[in-house]
């Protein structure tokens, strides 16, 4: 599978073999270890791995999700918002999955439960941030407004980038992922989307053209930010020229990841044309894009061994690139 068909470059296909239990376990654990490090649940994940005997792809995703949810404590303060967020998310996830546009969902709030409003202190508030200005994932939303007047002031659709949960808003990549502040149930649904995109069926159902468009926009706005950063050789490799000396707190690039020397990655950021970009968010989003396309390539390779309805998904996809590679794979 050639990602240049989607106008993408720079992603290496790791060649994941979905039919190899060893490879599946190793690849999925690398994915979840990275997610856990970014979202701060590494300790729980390690505990889950220590007690887990899963040998399936679904089991690996379930283990990761369980580790994530185990870090939450009950938040009785935000129950009303959490309830509305959960029901809205359930709705947009179902629709997004049906449309093949789960990575970024766009929905008219008038069609969503409670109009995506929740009550607090006698007033109605928006249950999500109206993320429609130009940002790192897109160039904004030109309209139209909701079909019906919103009780809590929505003037735009609800746009969520669930493929990069918890960084769900195009214009809010400056710090910790906003979705990570959600209470347990909506947060579980959000990370559940990330997990589901690591499942071959949901991955193939997702229109890769949407993901590629977001990825290209992201790359176009972040490339210049990285250009002047020092690049260090991969860990454990020998370099003909001595690597640059790093100061404490200096941001640098290694193995395609942006890192910070002797400081917290969670605090580091880069100032770009569309606002401050958290280094952690950058690495995480790149990781999600890479994982999506790696699994897409693996799923296409393994297509003859996948269930018939999954094969049919790929063969009848509205995405001509997927149809092309799926047909090739089935014919082999």
Interacting residues toward other proteins by CB under 8 A: 37, 39-44, 46, 71, 73, 176, 245-250, 262-267
The nearest distance, CB 4 to other proteins, in angstroms, is 35
The nearest distance, CB 164 to other proteins, in angstroms, is 18
Q: DSSP strand E in 114-213: where?
A: 117-120, 123-126, 158-161
Residue 102 vs 173, nearer CB to other proteins: 173
Two tokens, residue 196: 């589901």
Residue 264 vs 312, nearer CB to other proteins: 264
Residue 29 vs 216, nearer CB to other proteins: 29
Residue 237 vs 262, nearer CB to other proteins: 262
Q: In whole angstroms, what separates CA 70 from the centre of its chain?
A: 20
Cα–Cα distances (Å) from 45 to 49, 50, 165, 196, in that order, read 6, 9, 18, 18
The nearest distance, CB 70 to other proteins, in angstroms, is 8
Q: In whole angstroms, what separates CA 149 from the centre of its chain?
A: 31
The nearest distance, CB 51 to other proteins, in angstroms, is 14
Comparing CA positions, the residue from 320, 222, 228 lying closest to residue 278 is 222
The nearest distance, CB 114 to other proteins, in angstroms, is 29
Q: In whole angstroms, what separates CA 76 from the centre of its chain?
A: 28
- Containing 231, the helix (H) or strand (E) segment is strand 231-232
The nearest distance, CB 247 to other proteins, in angstroms, is 4
Number of Cβ within a 10 Å radius of residue 149: 11
Q: Which residues contact 320 (CB under 8 A, 6 or more apart)?
A: none
Residue 50 vs 121, nearer CB to other proteins: 50
Phi and psi (nearest 5°) for 296? -60, -45
Residue 79 vs 247, nearer CB to other proteins: 247
d(CA 253, CA 170): 23
Give the angle 71-163-43 at the CA atoms, nearest 5°: 25
Two tokens, residue 295: 């699994």
Comparing CA positions, the residue from 150, 172, 168, 149 lying closest to residue 160 is 168
The nearest distance, CB 248 to other proteins, in angstroms, is 4
Residue 247 vs 305, nearer CB to other proteins: 247
Residue 67 vs 194, nearer CB to other proteins: 67
Cα–Cα distances (Å) from 43 to 40, 104, 260, 263, in that order, read 8, 30, 22, 20
d(CA 230, CA 99): 42
d(CA 102, CA 92): 8
Residue 15 vs 40, nearer CB to other proteins: 40
């Amino acid at each position: 599978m050639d990602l240049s068909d989607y106008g993408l470059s720079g992603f290496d296909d790791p060649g994941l073999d979905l039919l190899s239990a060893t490879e599946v376990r190793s690849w999925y654990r690398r994915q979840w270890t990275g997610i856990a490090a970014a979202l701060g649940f590494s300790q729980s994940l390690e505990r889950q791995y220590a007690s887990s005997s899963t040998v399936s792809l679904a089991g690996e995703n379930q283990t990761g999700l369980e580790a994530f949810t185990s870090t939450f404590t009950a938040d009785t303060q935000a129950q009303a918002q959490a309830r509305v967020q959960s029901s809205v998310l359930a709705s947009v996830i179902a629709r997004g999955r049906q449309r093949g546009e789960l990575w970024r969902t766009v929905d008219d709030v008038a069609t969503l439960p409670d109009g995506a409003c929740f009550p607090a202190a006698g007033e109605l508030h928006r249950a999500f941030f109206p993320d429609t200005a130009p940002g790192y994932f897109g160039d904004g939303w030109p309209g139209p407004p909701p079909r019906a007047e919103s009780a809590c002031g929505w003037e735009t659709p609800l746009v969520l980038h669930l493929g990069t949960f918890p960084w769900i808003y195009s214009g809010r990549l400056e710090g910790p992922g906003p979705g990570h502040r959600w209470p347990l149930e909506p947060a579980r649904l959000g990370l559940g989307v990330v997990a589901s995109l690591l499942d071959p069926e949901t991955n193939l159902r997702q229109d890769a053209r949407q993901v590629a468009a977001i990825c290209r926009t992201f790359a176009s706005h972040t490339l210049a930010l990285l250009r002047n950063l020092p690049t260090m050789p991969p860990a454990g490799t020998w370099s003909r020229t001595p690597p640059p000396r790093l100061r404490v707190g200096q941001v640098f690039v290694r193995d395609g990841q942006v890192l910070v020397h002797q400081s917290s990655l969670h605090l580091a950021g880069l100032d770009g044309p569309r606002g401050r970009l958290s280094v952690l968010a950058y690495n995480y989003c790149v990781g999600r894009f890479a994982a999506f396309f790696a699994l897409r390539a693996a799923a296409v390779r393994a297509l003859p061994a996948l269930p018939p309805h999954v094969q049919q998904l790929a063969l009848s996809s509205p995405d001509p690139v997927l149809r092309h590679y799926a047909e090739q794979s089935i014919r082999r």
